[in-house]
Structures are given as structure tokens and as C-alpha cells.
Structure 1
Amino acid sequence: MATVVDLITYPVKGCAGTSVDSTYLTSAGLAHDRSFMVVSVEGVYRTQRRDPRLALVRPTASADGSRLTLASAEPDSGHGTLHLDVTTSAPRRDVDLFGATYQGIDQGEEAAEWLSDFLGVPSRLVRVPPEHDRIADGLTPGTSGYADSSAVHLLSRASLALLNTRMAERDAPPLAMDRFRPNVVVDSHPEGAHGEHGDDWAAEAHAEDRIRRMTIGEAELGYAKLAVRCAVTLVDQEAGARGGPEPLRTLAGYRRFSAGGVVFGAKFAVVRPGKLSVGDEVAVQEWGEAES
């Protein structure tokens, strides 16, 4: 059978993720996932495509979301740890995410100064307002916070293993899962059954592309779209710096998408919220043909 082997939430869009043993899946994604976003003074979102040092910011949200901690992955950088009381009552401001205008709650001067100093560019931190009602596109419609699109990004270890095998043929070193910033990582259980669309489906690379409806723990998810990959995958998440042409160069050789770009992993909308835990079975109720 297929099981969850890692759950990763990214409280601040573009910053480092945190692995958790269990969490609640809301209609907008894993609890607190992409609930905060770093923006320019003008309100335009910051991304690792332009500001790769975002990867070195280690955010942690409290269970109830009332506190946020920002820490540096560079212990000798001189940047202390910031403990922030999150506000939801401050005035809203316009923020720009991929050219669309949303609202954000500014988290104040202390957060702005910490991020501006760390990133080297004037920055502000905003939070998704409670009334945020963004509609995410895809085969199964849903909502999300400040994620690029859909609420949940799922990727299998088998898909990464195939990519690393193909990269090795180019004498390129293997990449870790964090290059792709998934929320849910699945793997094949060694005792699973084999066969087409069988319980051991996660042993097949890119089988996640064909899932149309599934349950994990208490939650149910519906397929939205394939994950089109961008230049963020070129950023070494441990170094906070852009590396070479991989993995996009290798992916272009076998994962081109007819609508443009290369794809790796799948995005899902939340049909029924509920608790998720590492070790949960991923039970597929409906399969479809992979988009091409």
C-alpha cells in the first residue's frame, strides 16, 4: 500500500518548510501553510526565483497560529531569532501575487526590519486575512492561502528516484526532495500488493499524475492539476543560492507538458478537511488518464 512518509508545511511562502508528524488539513491546505508572505514595500510577493535567500529563513508557527518564529539557517550570520505575536486586526493592504491583487495584514516593523536585513532588500511580512476567499483553479476547484495555486502538492519518492536516475546518466548529482517543496510525500509500503492501479501504486514513478480522488487519514482530496516547475527548483535549499541547470534540464527531456513547461508532482484541492499523519494510508478512490 501507499503511505505518507513526510508532511511539510511552509508557514511563510518561499521560506523553508517544517516537517510535522501530524497536522490538520484545512480547506486551504495544511494548517498554516503559506499563511504568510514576504512582499516588497510596494506589496509584490517575494519569491526564491529572485530572492533565493528566502530558503534560509526558517519559520515556525504555533499550533493556534497566534505566534510566528523566524530563525536563520546561518547560525553565524548574526541574525537573531524573531518571536512575533501575529496580528489579524491591523489594517489590510493590497498585495500582488502573480499579477492578481489580494489582501494581506501587515505584521509590523519588527518583522519588516528582520526580513529586510536578512534578505538585503526592503521587505514586509503579511498574513492571509481570515476573510480570504481565493478560488484556486484546476479540475477540482478549491481554495488556498498564498500558495502558487492549489492547496496541496503531492509527490512520490518513486518520481524523485526516477529523476535522480536520469540525472545520474548526465553525471549530475542527486537532488533531495526539498528542491520541489511538496506538502505530502508518499512511498510504497514494502508489503503492498502489486498490479495496475493496485495498492502498491506509489512504487511507480509519476503514478500521482493519474489520481483523481483519494483519502488520507480523515481527509479527502481531489485532483486539480499537474505541478508545472519553475526556476525555484534550481535553488539549493540548504545554501539559499541558485545552482546549475538541474533539475529543469533533465526534466525537459521526459516531462514536457503540452501546455508549456515541465511537470513534476501533482496539485490537489481539499474536498473534505481532516487530520493527516505520517504513516497514513493513501487510498485512491478514482483514477484517470495523466494529462500530457
Structure 2
Amino acid sequence: MAEVVELIHYPVKGCAGVPVRTAVVEPAGLAHDRAFLVLGPDGAGRTQRRDPKLAVVSPRVRAEAGGERLTLRAPGMEVLRLDVDTAGERREVTLFGQPLRGIDQGDEAAAWFSEVLGAPSRLVRVPPENGRVTDGATPGTSRYADSSAVHLLTRTTLDDFNARLAERGSAPLPMARFRPNIVVDGWDGRPYAEDRVRRLRLGEVELGYTKLAVRCAVTLVDQRTGTKAGPEPLRTLAGYRRAEGGGVVFGSKFSVVRPGALAVGDGVEVADRAAPER
């Protein structure tokens, strides 16, 4: 039987993921996922596409009486602990050209990220009233994710990809290179089963398919070092996973149809699946 084998949220977009055993899945995705965004001087969100060093920043969010506390760690930096501001003035930000809003988290956070990245930066949090609408086959919402709320991959899919790398004489890549939220194992042993899933039930949660995940240059970044590490996985994916609209695809994205609790070990039920391509 298929089951959830990994859960990961990414509190600050582009920064390191936080593996968890249990999670609350909200309409905008796993709790705390992409709740914070690092900005450049023009108010545009920074990502690993241009700022791969974001990967070495390790964030943690902890709920406390009366609010949240964000802890940030990075090599060679003092640990920064912030009381999260969710009531401050809203400011305009952009993410891939899309206008959104954020709450600035202050000069101390700005100075910390500016030093890590070697460029002027500020940190914002998504407002509690976030009303972002995401597209795809099942419209939904998310915080500062690229698009849909949840990115899902199967271990079988990664195993197939790594087998193709081995045929080239290349070392395998870890799951972290693809930055999923949910990793599933046990779907009848077939890779890319997530491509055809249209409705999923996991624990208390129900997800609706939005689109295939088109992969970008972030997959080229070694998540341990924050440096670009060569042509893989895009070179190999280009040989067998090209999308009709351009680019290459690996994994699927979903909207949250029914929020709820989710845990590693929960069973995964496919409620609706697209017919196989002929």
C-alpha cells in the first residue's frame, strides 16, 4: 500500500527544507511552507535561480504564546531569532512578476540576509489575510510557493531517474535536489505514477491535481553547499521528460481540497486517476 514517507516544509522560500514527522496541511499548503520571502532592492522575491546561497540558510518556525518565532542559521553567521511580525504595514512585493503583499520583518533580518547573500535584501512574511489564487486543473491558494500549494514526488520516480544517471556513469541525486513537500512510496512500483493522479487522500487531507512540475535551474543547486553543481538533472530529464509547452517535468503539483492532519506513515489513496496515454 502506498504511504507517505517524507514530509518537508520550507519556511523561507529558497532556503533549506525542514523535515517533519507530522504536519497540519492548511489551504495554502503545509503549515509555515513558504511563509517568508527574501526580497531584492526592487521588491522582487529572491530564489535559488539567482541566489543559490539561500540553500545554506536553515530556518525554523516555532509557535509561541501570542505569535511565532523564526530562527535562522547559516555557516559563519550568528544565529538570528526573530519575533514574527504579522500585524505590520503591508508592502507590495513581486514573485515572478506577480504582484503580492508582504509584511517587512525589520532591519535586523534585512542586515542578516544581506550579509549571507552579499547583496541588499529584506525579509517579508505573507499576511494572515493572504488571498493569492493559484492556477491549474484544480485552482487553489498558496503563500510564496512558485505556484500550487503542494509538490509531490514518489521514491520510485527518483529511483528511475537515478538509474538513468547510472547509465551515464553519473552519481545519484538526492530527493532534496527537487525540494518536494510530500514523498510517497509504494505506488505499484511504477515510476511517474504521480503524473496521472487527479485526486488524492492522505491522512485527513485531500489534494487535487493542478499541473506537472516544470523543473528549473534550482535543481542544479547542491542543497548542502548552495553552489551550482553541473548539468544534472536537467540534462538527463531533457532526454525523456520534455513538456509539451517547453521545459522538462518531474513530479506533480496539487491544491489542497480538504485541509487536515498528515503524518509520515499515513496511507495514500488515489481517488481519481487520468487514463493512461495511448
For 2:173, the aligned partner's letter is: L
For residues 253-275 of structure 1, the C-alpha deviation after alignment (integer angstroms, 9 at most, x for no partner) is 01001111000000000000000
Match of residue 16 from structure 1:
16
Q: Letter of the aligned partner of 1:66 in structure 2?
A: E
Identity %: 62
1:70 equivalent among 67, 72, 80: 72
Contact 1:10 1:33 in 2 (8 A): yes
Contact 1:209/1:291 (8 A) holds in 2:
no
Task: Kindly state the Cα deviation for residue 6 of structure 1 after the two structures are TM-superposed.
Answer: 0.5
Secondary structure of 1:12's aligned partner:
coil
Report the residue type matching 2:172 in the other structure: P
1:225 alignment partner, one of 208, 211, 216:
211
Matching residue within 234, 244, 247 for 1:258? 244
The whole-number CA distance in structure 2 between the counterparts of 1:216 and 1:121 is 41
User: Do 1:213 and 1:220's aligned partners in 2 also have CA atoms closer than 8 Å?
Assistant: yes
1:131 CA displacement: 1.3
Q: TM-score, normalised by structure 1?
A: 0.92
Q: 2:131 aligns with which of 118, 130, 133?
A: 133
In structure 1, give the amino acid aligned to 2:119: V
Counterpart residue number, 2:39: 39
The 1:214/1:116 distance shift into structure 2, 3 A limit, reads same
Deviation string, structure 1 residues 203-222 (Cα, Å, up to 9, x no partner): 21000111011100001111
Deviation at 1:92, TM superposition (A): 1.1
What is aligned with 1:114? Answer: 112
The SS at the match of 1:267 is strand
**1:289 Cα deviation after fit:** 3.8
How many Å separate the matches in 2 of 1:204 and 1:67?
42
State the partner residue of 2:56. 56
Moved over 4 A (4+): none
Match of 1:161 in 2: 159
1:90 offset after TM fit, Å? 1.4
- Unaligned 5+ residue runs, structure 2? none
3-state SS of paired residue (1:164): helix
| Residues 64-103 of structure 1 aligned to structure 2 (within 5 Å) | 66-72=68-74, 74=75, 77=76, 79-103=77-101
Equivalent residue letter for 1:59: P
Contact kept, 8 Å, 1:209 with 1:290, in 2: the verdict is no
Q: For residue 122 of structure 2, give the secondary structure of its aligned residue in structure 1.
A: strand
1:180 and 2:166 aligned: no
TM-score, normalised with respect to structure 2: 0.97
Aligned residues between the structures = 276
* Structure 1 Cα separation of the partners of residues 275 and 58 of structure 2: 38
Q: Which residue of 2 aligns with 1:197?
A: none
